[in-house]
Amino acid sequence: MQSLAHSLPASGTGFPEAANQADVTWLVAEETPVAFEYNGRSHAVMMATPADLEDFALGFSLCEEIVGSAADIDRIDVRPVEDGIVLSIEADPLRLLRGSLRRRSMEGRSGCGLCGIDSLANAVREPPRVMAGFTPSVAAVAAAFAALPDHQPMNRANKSLHAAAWAGPDGRIVTAREDVGRHNALDKLAGALARVGIDPSGGFAVMSSRCSFELVQKAATIGIPMLATISAPTALALKLARAAGMTLAARARGNGVMLFR
């Protein structure tokens, strides 16, 4: 993170309102081009927060169905270059999933899960069926929502990053990742779970963002049975979640929680 060159007034308006008003210093988040290469072949460039990049490489590969498991990847190299960062991923070509390296242009924005997809046929993937290893509960989701801010250290500093966390059936958060893009945050979480061998079906994901269909696709692909987000799901997200057998959750008024099945 970089410190902003000047201080802003406490009101956040950008203009001093009183001579005795206390100044505050804001930090701004890094947003860096991150290129994915598979066996030396360029695949996509995503704008991302340059943290937990090995988790990002592994999680993106799993969520995008490029590989079927962490064991399918032989090596991940994080290589800084002049204009950004290259994630060089080596895997046996025979272990790459058929059709997984869907053609993309070499551009991806931090806020979009579809950037670079070159046809409508590749836009919405049919999610796999997911089996839950627990019974979803409103109390557990509420507990995870309440705990999520404690797992967002970078966001506390800059107020601009999304978080994706994984919680056990009781709502206790086990691990979390942050990124300027919500899809990137979920990819990083997926990679973190895979690296330590946590079974995603034994808990649920809780996120600081809205629930889009791309997040449902990613969660279902790695076997997460419930996705809890701050705002309600879109119609397409709910349709895909029902097809996958997933439960979606969102905050209601006050501290309430709504479950969508």
Mean pLDDT of 181-189: 97
pLDDT in tens, 29-60: 899 999 999 999 999 999 999 999 999 999 99
SS3 198: coil
What is the signed CA dihedral for 115, 116, 121, 127, rounded to 10 degrees? -60
Averaged pLDDT for residues 118-133:
77
pLDDT given at position 235: 96
Which residues contact residue 241 at a Cβ distance below 8 angstroms, ignoring those fewer than 6 apart? Answer: 127, 216, 220, 227, 233, 247, 248, 260
pTM: 0.85
Rounded (10°) CA dihedral 128, 133, 136, 141: -90
Q: What DSSP line would sit under 39-89, residue for residue? A: TTEEEEEEEE-SSSHHHHHHHHHHHTTS-SSGGGEEEEEEEEETTEEEEEE
Active site residue 115: no
pLDDT band at 161 (very low <50, low <70, confident <90, very high): very high
DSSP state of 191: H
